[in-house]
Structure 1
């Protein structure tokens, strides 16, 4: 194999300078691509449309509560460059590509409460289990607890578009990727606060439902860090904001069975990593996912969803599997 030493040395030096920041970027991207509250909002919006017959609003009526359980599996695979350079001669002493895979299992309880007929409060409590094949490390921990509001400004009218506004607050209650030992642990959270807002819309064209959403998420800085990453001390992370959108359709095969397909894309702006001696920045990234879902109506107000998806870009999960179903706790309600 022929090698041009000058170009190879320059490339190797560049790779080494960004190696630590790149590893941090990979961890952050994986956290950002977990199931988000925007995904839950989209699924909720579609479910509400199916259940909205003869109702003025498709959200929960005032004073009512609902509890939902969801379980997800994500599979990630990466090829990483492992490089070592002799400090005296500048020659490359090791250059290899390592294959890394991560299996992520997560489950969550989502509680909805109808404040008004057109305003619903939601809180989501996630728990995750991850296994990293390269580190041979597994860990189960609490994820990032989130809170959201969904508001429907206009009553539902037959044949008209159903519009819902939403806002979300995500809290860093999970294990931060910037506080753990990166060689021996895996994270369960993003490591920073974020707030998001957006709009979702749907329209029934019997027997098809068209739906879509558009949202923006602002991420707050994570400061006061003291994490060792490849011999460098990470002091602060300035995560980039993100813009996301989705679109899809659902087809009702019968009263009990429906099929849906959707496309989701998220554009994440660059993230800055502030180390003691230098500052590194990751590049903007784009994740795109195609999802298919099977909805089974088990009662007049209960729909169980089974989903399958796959990523289209390098920054997306390779495989996504999901299950969501409502939990009947009417017997625990006051006065029941």
Structure 2
């Protein structure tokens, strides 16, 4: 009986406790609903939704930043891991076995004695020879300046072949004279020592003179033609690179020039006493000037990247012969050039010479002074290592200058050096 009573009491107590708990839960829900309704009454629904969207967007940005930071850490850490793995692999490879050390030494010796690898097969340079590579590239790019400054070192040799054609017309009333000249030549450039260069030019010339008349006074002459060919005037120069370009100081080159009278001297248009005491003219082609020249010049080169400015001024003394002095010369030039790329360069120059009055038996001939002006345009193209092709055209700008002079130069620079034993 006692057990039943105790069970009934416990059941009653549990029921009372459950009723209390249920009442408390109901009251809590009612309070939460009332507080929520009060909050909704205090904050408008649109503002609440807007604030909710902003919070979500901020969460999204935070997640993106965290992901980006994780990716950056991995990207920075990955190269370090790769370098570590590479170092370990190299260390493993670099540790030869004890039995293979002699074989590895022999293989290294054989590799060193064989032909080395090339940095640039086209330039023919050994691996690691950066200084020589830079010098070679500089010489190649400056080929269009080879007449303005010293390019070659001790023992360097370059041979330049040339072919040209010139046409000139002159009118001496009642005659019209046409001169057509074709030439070919070879020019040797050799580096005696660093900054000292010797140039020797050997030309061959063919000239044809044509004479016709525009007046009935010269019926005995009508039309005449005469030509001649042979060796021209051999010339040479010794050039010294006195100053190298640095800062505001331009590249300065001093030259000593000599020209011989090896070409056959012609008189060109010579007066002839014809029938009835009429003065006519004969034709005598000229392959040279017939006089020796000795002179000097100074050339300046200044780089204003990507343009190179250059100019020269000289004086040539023409030696008197047979009491005839054709007049000393003051040659000059002013030009510019630039590289279109690492193989093609363009240059333009204004060339001229002021020729003083001629003398006969020590007396000056009035009106014999001349001024010669011409414009030269050239394109220098590197065909292969050491080989260049340079077409050019020259237009006469004054009456005394040749009307048209055009041709092509083909310089070839030898890869090897040929130093002279007595130049130390």
User: Structure 1 length normalisation: TM-score?
Assistant: 0.69
1:239 equivalent in structure 2: 326
Change (3 A) 1:160 1:296: farther
Quote the Cα distance in structure 2 between the aligned partners of 1:121 and 1:101.
Answer: 36
Which structure: larger Rg? 2
Question: 1:232-285: CA deviations, max 9, x gaps?
Answer: xxxx3112001121111112211111211111121100112459xx98555211
Q: Deviations over 1:170-199 (max 9, x none)?
A: 110000136998835311011111111111
Question: Mapping of 1:1-336 within 5 angstroms?
Answer: 50=142, 58-81=150-173, 97-134=174-211, 135-157=224-246, 160-177=249-266, 183-223=282-322, 236-274=323-361, 282-327=367-412
Give the Cα separation in 1 of the matches to 2:402 and 2:139.
25
What displacement does 1:330 show? 6.1
Task: Report the structure, 1 or 2, having the larger strand content.
Answer: 1
RMSD, matched Cα: 3.0
Task: Say whether the 8 Å CA contact 1:242–1:267 is kept in structure 2.
Answer: yes
Q: Which runs of 5 or more structure 1 residues have no equivalent in the other structure?
A: 1-45, 82-96, 224-235
1:112 to partner: Cα distance: 1.5
Q: Which has the higher contact order (CA 8 A, sep 6+)?
A: 1
Distance 1:189 1:166, change over 3 A: same
Q: 1:323 deviation in Å?
A: 1.0
How many corresponding residue pairs? 256
Q: Does the 8 Å contact 2:150/2:197 carry over to 1?
A: no
Instruction: Kindly indicate whether the alpha-carbon contact (under 8 Å) linking 1:164 and 1:200 is maintained by their aligned counterparts in 2.
Output: yes
Q: Using structure 2 for the length normalisation, give the TM-score.
A: 0.55
- For residues 268 and 293 of structure 1, the distance between their equivalents in structure 2, rounded to whole angstroms, comes to 26
Deviations 1:279-323 (Å, cap 9, x if unpaired)? 855521101001111111223444321111211111001111021
Determine helix, strand or coil for the equivalent of 1:152. Answer: strand
User: 2: distance between equivalents of 1:49 and 1:198?
Assistant: 24
Asked if the contact 1:274–1:280 (Cα under 8 Å) also holds between the matched residues in 2, the reply is no
Q: By how many angstroms is 1:51 displaced?
A: 5.4
In 2 relative to 1, CA 71–63 (structure 1 residues): closer, same or farther, beyond 3 Å? same
Unpaired runs of 5+ residues, structure 2, are 1-137, 212-223, 272-281, 420-424
